[in-house]
Amino acid sequence: QISLLVGFISVNNSPWTDYSAYSYFQIVAICDLVMILFFYIIHIFRIYRKLTCVSWPLAEFLHYLIGTILLLIASIVAASKSYNFTGLVAGATFGFLATILCVLSIWSSYKVSCITQSTGK
């Protein structure tokens, strides 16, 4: 998710008007990035085949659901506290874009894990 990284860099390199709002945005963006990279590594190296005690589709679905909700809240807070600083507005905009992309990821992971398993395809 390049949009999360761009949003993080935009907020990090702009003057802050409210420390708690922007630090919350940065924490949510970095945690979401780390978890996305974690799931990419799980899929790339096919670790999910060795760790069968974890329901990976459910874990990925919950990660995207919780991450999307937190990212939406962080983007709304960052947008409301931006005071027309371009870096903060850009960070909030990329946060909203990342939220939309996470919603699409939720839908695709649900579609792949639940619908295809229920139809047996």
pLDDT of residue 66: 93
pLDDT of residue 21: 81
CA angle 114-61-9, nearest 5°? 145
pLDDT of residue 28: 93
Is 7 in contact with 92 (CB distance < 8 Å)?
yes
pLDDT of residue 31: 93
pLDDT of residue 68: 92
pLDDT of residue 4: 87
pLDDT of residue 113: 60
Q: What is the number of other CB atoms lying within 10 angstroms of the CB of residue 34?
A: 9
Which residues lie closer than 8 Å to 8 by C-beta, 6 or more apart? 25, 26, 29, 30, 33, 91
Is 3 in contact with 94 (CB distance < 8 Å)?
yes
Domain extents in the chain: 1-53, 55-120
Alpha helical stretches, state H, 13-85: 19-44, 56-80
pLDDT of residue 34: 93
Which residues lie closer than 8 Å to 27 by C-beta, 6 or more apart? none
Mean pLDDT by 10 residues, the chain (121 residues): 87 81 90 91 89 84 90 92 85 92 82 58 51
State the Cα–Cα distance between residues 121 and 112, nearest whole angstrom: 10
